[in-house]
Structure 1
Amino acid sequence: MKTLFAGLLMTTTLAVHADEIKRVPLPNSNFPISLAVSVPPQTELLFVSGLLADVHDPKAPKDSFAAYGDTATQTTSILNKLKNVLKSQGLDLGDVVQLRVFLVGDPSKGGKLDFFGLQEGYTPFFGSAEQPKKPARTAVQVVALPLPGGLVEIEAVAARKR
């Protein structure tokens, strides 16, 4: 019952300020994501399809993990791509309200996802002094991505007032 009440209280709190995007921080945390993000009714949403990394090392064998880099390198590549997609739509990373991150288990880490590498590539883009806004985010491990050699795929939702 206590959890249900807290959830209702949070929903009510988010609904009260429906004139702008509200980001609910994680309690007692400086982790670079929001617990929740509320988007007002008069908002246009931009859904960005999953983005994959560009080739990092053209001398490495094509479709190898070495060709695209480690998790941190791929995350940085993808978030730079995302910046460009957003810019082409008149938006920036501060307009991102949700990210979904798909991680392949890194063979150099025994097939486990490299969450530290994700954070290393991610934190310069979100929750930093330069760009302090934090989106809601989910990160999950998947068996494979459509890009052989890909360790990371990221899709995004961005919002702007109409």
Structure 2
Amino acid sequence: MKMKFALAVTVLCSSAAFAQTEVKHIQPSEKMPIANAVWAGDTLYCSGQLADPITPADPAKGTAAVYGNTEQQSLSALMKIQALLKSQGLDMKDVVKMTVFLAGDPAKGGKLDFPGLQASYTKFFGTKEQPNKPARSAVQVAALAAPWGLVEIEVIAVRSK
């Protein structure tokens, strides 16, 4: 009987601890269907970030936006992640996990440009100024939601105590 009571108390206490985790959604705007990031306690889960255009579209001239190659898109996505983290009081040193989704580059015959990703990644991680090297997965996908997208990056960051 004492064992069952002790087990019940343990389950209730651990459930109460989980129930007290504060969750906060970082919304870019009310119109967006997803959050940019979600805080769960001291952990920030960032949605996948795509590149911003290098050259915006100009409807008056009939030109499309230019997003660049894998290296340029990776750099843009990482800069957006850095800005998102900064807005939440974090930095790249706080990133503990990264997932990278890569699509084949039509300019490279549809092949994955992993070196292009690495060229941008190494500007943010494993440097003298910022030695953090988070756990990372990189997967090739058939395509991303944005038809021009070659890379999408999501991260998990933790606020140090």
Q: TM-score, normalised by structure 1?
A: 0.68
* Cα drift, residue 121 of structure 1: 1.0
* Cα drift, residue 141 of structure 1: 0.6
User: Which of 1 and 2 has higher RCO (CA within 8 Å, sep 6+)?
Assistant: 1
What residue is the counterpart of 2:76 in the other structure?
77
What residue is the counterpart of 1:7 in the other structure?
none
Larger radius of gyration: 2
Partner SS state of residue 49, structure 2: strand
Please list every run of at least 4 consecutive aligned residues from structure 1 whose deviation after the TM superposition is greater than 6 angstroms: none
Pairing 1:10-159 to 2, within 5 Å after superposition: 44-58=42-56, 61-62=63-64, 67-159=66-158
Query: Deviation digits for residues 104-146 of structure 1, max 9, x if unmatched?
Result: 0011111111000000111000001121101000001101111
Partner SS state of residue 155, structure 1: strand
Q: Which runs of 5+ in 2 are unaligned?
A: 1-40
Q: TM-score, normalised by structure 2?
A: 0.69
* Cα drift, residue 58 of structure 1: 2.7
* Cα drift, residue 92 of structure 1: 0.2
Distance 1:48 1:115 in 2: 22
% identity of equivalent residues: 57
Please tell me the root mean square deviation across aligned C-alpha atoms, in Å.
1.6
* Cα drift, residue 69 of structure 1: 0.5
What residue is the counterpart of 1:35 in the other structure?
none
Distance 1:136 1:87 in 2: 20
Distance 1:128 1:89 in 2: 22
Distance 2:103 2:75 in 1: 16
* Cα drift, residue 59 of structure 1: 5.8
Which amino acid in structure 2 is aligned with residue 45 of structure 1? T
Distance 1:143 1:130 in 2: 35
Higher share of residues assigned strand: 1
* Cα drift, residue 53 of structure 1: 0.2
